[in-house]
Structure 1
Amino acid sequence: MRTWRVGSISMGASLLFLGIFLLFSQLLKWDSAYVLAGWWPVLLIVLGAEILVYLFLSKQEKPILKYDFLSIIFVAVIGTVGIGFTVLQATGLTEELQTFFDSEMTTADLPSFNYQVGDEVKRIVVDSSHHPLTVETVTDKEVSVFGTYRSSFTEGKPLLGNPEDYLMTTRKGDTLYITLKSLPDYNGWMQSGQEMDATLVIPASKSLEISSDYSEVTLKPRTLSSSWEVSSSARVNLILASNEDLTINADNVGDIQGENVKWQMTEPASASDKDVIEEGIPNKSATLKLGSGQHPITISHSDQVNVSIKN
């Protein structure tokens, strides 16, 4: 006579229902994660129903339940997986994972920023954070920011919709403050590989101060008629024309490259600077003069300065 062990029917019914759910998920385009999250309670219903049916049909006065432990373990494993998907769904991690796997790394244009500056604005202060920045001049009175960024896109939707998503501007007195923000990272899922390469165009008559979190800064002064300062940069590239009217002051920099024969090396300006040299940390100060040297560009506390002069 065949012995009925509780658990064997549950395993068969569970596999049957799981197969039906997965089949409909393929035909009706259901989300498989949501199917697994909502399907596992069926296991408890089937197992409980099997126990009740066994007790009801048993002809023994005091029936003893006999379990198919291998089947029950199999059902428990499937149920645990379903509970895991339920926890992920409840915490929102399922949607985050789906967003991550559906995203693709793409390069797109930064939303352009344009700001008219009058004569009342004398100075522009820029915090480029960890982003590479290129600065050029124009003869009109407009400040512009444009460029590209590389980030994860989901369903073809751009990460940045307007300039405020990556840029903050504040006007205080005669100074315009510009800060480049970090790109959104969606709680860390999309942070890896994100890059932004911005170009800042400012009027040649406005003074400029740039601070960065040891990122790369490229300067193309062209028609500069004011003074510029750059501090705390990993590398400063100066792309100059031979007819420029500039004085380049490199103060406390690690290395100076390009057109070295024209640089005039100078001694450290302070005792603290001498202490840095004595400790073995590369530290150089030099001056490069083009034309009459009327307009100064000061570069301080940077790892490297590279000058390229084009005829």
Structure 2
Amino acid sequence: MRTWRVGSISMGASLLFLGIFLLLSQLLKWDSAYVLAGWWPVLLIVLGAEILVYLFLSKQEKPILKYDFLSIIFVAVIGTLGIGFTVLQATGLMGQMQSFFDSEVKTADLPSYSHQVGDDVKRIVVDSSYYPITIETVTDKEVSVFGTYRSSSTGGKPLLSNPEDYLMTIQKGDTLYITLKSLPDSNGWMQSGRELDATLVIPGSKSLEILSDYNEVTLKPRTISSSWEVSSSARVNLVLASSEDLTINAENVGDIQGEDAKWQYTEQTAVSDTDINNEGIPNKSATLKLGSGQHPITISHSDQVNVSIKN
């Protein structure tokens, strides 16, 4: 009387076909992840064939039926993994996982931007979003942007290829608007942080207004001959020379730092909810004058102002 062990043939066939598929993936340069996701239906064919053979033999003789539980568990595990790979592939998660593991985080140069501004432009408005930005001046009439960014890349392709990928500029009347865009990102669930650190150089004769989403702003006025305004920034760093001709007006800021700066503080006559910082301490207002103080820089509603004066 013949003994029939259910599961042995399935396990043997599973190992055979898996070995063949993996060997072909190495020789033909197939993607192993897609091979594992695509070969598992063979298990169903083998199991179905084994059942049909058993039913055929059971009509001619009465075999002793035994279950090879180890083989059955092995086939079930492989089948479950195959179904899992198929689900990942169908939902697109397989491609995202592949891109995630193939990617690497790099720091690259921003595509530089340069633009000549005419005398009709009197004012420049900068929206730096939530990225840190450094503002410097030149004596000519050129606006330029450069810097670095950090992000993950796949296949060695840079994330940014031209200035329009991170920068928008438009002129309306006598105002030039400059906006730093958010870096491109995928909609997948595995995302890496992307950072941008830009330097904007503008003519010192143009008025400047900076709008930020509580990021860090560094100002290096140097050749300024106009008025500047900064609002809603987490930290404003002022790098100044003692020979400059400036008046720094800090209005409703959380903290003022700078050992060499001689600030003239304004007494708060009335304190409202908007004049109190997150720590429950009233905000400060003060004025710092260098030289005759001809050119004003106004900083309002910022968490911190830090002044560094160099001789």
Counterpart in 2 of 1:287? 287
Deviations 1:185-207 (CA, angstroms, capped at 9, x unpaired): 21255643321100001111111
Name structure 2 gaps, 5 residues minimum. Answer: none
Q: What displacement does 1:25 show?
A: 1.7
Q: Does 1:143 align with 2:153?
A: no
Q: Contact between 1:132 and 1:215, CA under 8 Å: does it hold in 2?
A: yes
What's the secondary structure of 1:229's corresponding residue?
strand
Q: How does 1:235-250 map to 2 (within 5 A)?
A: 235-250=235-250
CA–CA distance in 1 between the matches of 2:261 and 2:17? 81
Q: Contact between 2:261 and 2:309, CA under 8 Å: does it hold in 1?
A: no
TM-score (norm 1): 0.92
Matched residue type, 2:155 = E
Q: What displacement does 1:184 show?
A: 1.8
CA–CA distance in 2 between the matches of 1:79 and 1:108? 44
Counterpart in 2 of 1:50? 50
Counterpart in 1 of 2:307? 307
Counterpart in 1 of 2:219? 219
What's the secondary structure of 2:3's corresponding residue?
coil
Q: Does 1:9 align with 2:6?
A: no
Counterpart in 1 of 2:32? 32
CA–CA distance in 2 between the matches of 1:49 and 1:229? 79
What's the secondary structure of 1:237's corresponding residue?
strand
Structure 1 outlier segments of 4+, above 6 Å:
61-65
Distance 1:20 1:12, change over 3 A: same
Q: Which moved more, 1:248-257 or 1:71-80?
A: 71-80
Matched residue type, 1:100 = F
Q: What displacement does 1:143 show?
A: 1.0
Counterpart in 1 of 2:87? 87
Matched residue type, 1:293 = G
CA RMSD of aligned residues (A): 2.2
Q: What displacement does 1:22 show?
A: 1.4
Q: Contact between 1:146 and 1:200, CA under 8 Å: does it hold in 2?
A: yes
Alignment: residue pair count: 310
Name structure 1 gaps, 5 residues minimum. Answer: none
Fraction of identical pairs, as percent = 86
Deviations 1:230-288 (CA, angstroms, capped at 9, x unpaired): 111111111111111110000111111114551101124765379638x9324111000
Q: Does 1:112 align with 2:112?
A: yes
What's the secondary structure of 1:44's corresponding residue?
helix
Q: Which moved more, 1:96-105 or 1:169-178?
A: 169-178
What's the secondary structure of 2:276's corresponding residue?
helix
CA–CA distance in 1 between the matches of 2:275 and 2:253? 14
Q: What displacement does 1:12 show?
A: 0.9
Distance 1:260 1:310, change over 3 A: closer
Q: How does 1:135-214 map to 2 (within 5 A)?
A: 135-188=135-188, 191-214=191-214
